[in-house]
Structure 1
Amino acid sequence: MRVILIIGILIFSASKTIACRCEDPGTVSEAYNYTEAIIHGKVIQKSFVTFESSMNIEKADSLRIIFKGNDQKLKLLESEFIIEVQIEILKVYKGELVGDTIKLYTSRNSASCGFTRFEEGQDFIIYASSKSYAFRLFNSESNLEKENTLWTNHCTRTTKYNASEDGKLNLIMKK
């Protein structure tokens, strides 16, 4: 009986540490102040990709060397756990983005904080960062992200496009 209780406690504890935990993203104004990039964009394409393909090539190669002999970590690196979204940039509220499109990444499921509601052809207001929340699984090295890509998650204010959010962002931009 004692063993069952201990196993139950360990499972409960593990689910608490692995599961996504979000804080309130705050008001539009608060989110504007702490978010690196905010855009209005249309989803052109959405696909599932591996952790490795969403990383800087040199850093991914370095991780492969570090994880040599650790089949579990290597399998994780090769798993299609990431959503890659090609976004047509319609408006930039904040940030300096180059080009008409951007590659955006998020985790594949909401339990790991992924924003899973992207649909091709739909417009979104995206609150994004150049840093990945998903890469915390590979804490052996930092700055794993590819250059000129963005990341979002469901803990941000990212949402389907709506005139109210757009209006609030436009007011902030005028200040």
Structure 2
Amino acid sequence: MWKSRTMILLSFLFMLIALFIVEPVTVHACSCAEPPSIEDQMNRKTAIFTGKVLSLTKPDKGKFWSSADPVKAQFEVKTVWKGKLGSQTAVYTALSSASCGYEGFEVNKEYIVFAYGDPDRLETGLCEGTKTLASAKEDLKALGAGYEPSKEPISGEASYEMSTSKEETDNRLIIIGLCAVILIAFLLLVLALRRRRS
């Protein structure tokens, strides 16, 4: 009797801890509509620029990962048509095209990038019009003359990354705290059951 109660309580404890630790992974299928016109792109996007990929930072594929996990592409900006960009900027995209991520980025290759989102965290994807510079002749012709990026560094990205890492740390501390409370409650329950039996 005692062993079966203990097993039920342990099973309940593990399920409860799993609810706090395991995050659900959302799966998306990506299908793109008709590519937007350059006029639409100028109206909708936060930034439009050409640049060379200096580095790619992919997420660690640990136990839990998603096709939507972000990849960071660091660009040396060459020409800008929209947005206030420094000589270097980062653009994020989903890891896989299954989640509408742009998988074509390669270090030392040049691209035209159509980015949306907050100016401090630009994002692009499979359906945004981003492509290699070699295949962007029509887009470049329609865009016309652009302007050079700012010579001064644009702030914001570092503070965004710091706030994101602080948020992740806070979430981990909350989860650890909840697990500790559950464990203490379980131990108190086991002690109470033992006292009742004796």
Using the size of structure 2 for normalisation, the TM-score is 0.52
Q: Distance in 2 between matches of 1:92 and 1:153?
A: 18
- Aligned AA for 1:128? A
Percent of residue pairs bearing the same amino acid type: 29
- Aligned AA for 2:106? E
Matched, 1:49 2:36: no
Q: Distance in 1 between matches of 2:28 and 2:109?
A: 31
1:164 alignment partner in structure 2? 138
Residues 98-146 of structure 1, C-alpha deviations (whole Å, 9 max, x = no match): x210111100110100000011111111000125xxxxxxxxxxxxxxx
1:25 alignment partner in structure 2? 35
Structure 1 alignment gaps of length 5 or more: 1-16, 52-71, 132-146
Does the CA-based 8 Å contact 1:44-1:120 persist in structure 2?
yes
Change (3 A) 1:21 1:163: closer
1:64 alignment partner in structure 2? none
Deviation at 1:164, TM superposition (A): 2.7
- Aligned AA for 2:58? F
1:94 alignment partner in structure 2? 82
Q: Which runs of 4+ in 1 moved over 4 A?
A: none
Tell me how many residue pairs correspond in the alignment: 118
Q: Distance in 1 between matches of 2:28 and 2:121?
A: 25
Matched, 1:40 2:40: no
Deviation at 1:40, TM superposition (A): 0.6
Structure 2 alignment gaps of length 5 or more: 1-26, 148-198
- Aligned AA for 2:71? I
Deviation at 1:80, TM superposition (A): 8.9
Q: Which has the higher contact order (CA 8 A, sep 6+)?
A: 1
Instruction: Report the aligned-residue RMSD.
Output: 2.9
Deviation at 1:23, TM superposition (A): 2.2
Map 1:130-141 → 2, pairs under 5 A: 130=117
Using the size of structure 1 for normalisation, the TM-score is 0.58
Higher Cα radius of gyration: 2
1:109 alignment partner in structure 2? 96
Does the CA-based 8 Å contact 1:25-1:31 persist in structure 2?
no
Residues 16-43 of structure 1, C-alpha deviations (whole Å, 9 max, x = no match): x721232223222222221121011111
Of 136, 148, 155 in structure 1, the residue corresponding to residue 120 of structure 2 is 148
Q: Distance in 1 between matches of 2:88 and 2:99?
A: 26
Change (3 A) 1:119 1:76: closer
Change (3 A) 1:21 1:168: same
Between structures 1 and 2, the one with greater strand share: 1
Q: Distance in 2 between matches of 1:164 and 1:158?
A: 13
Change (3 A) 1:33 1:80: closer
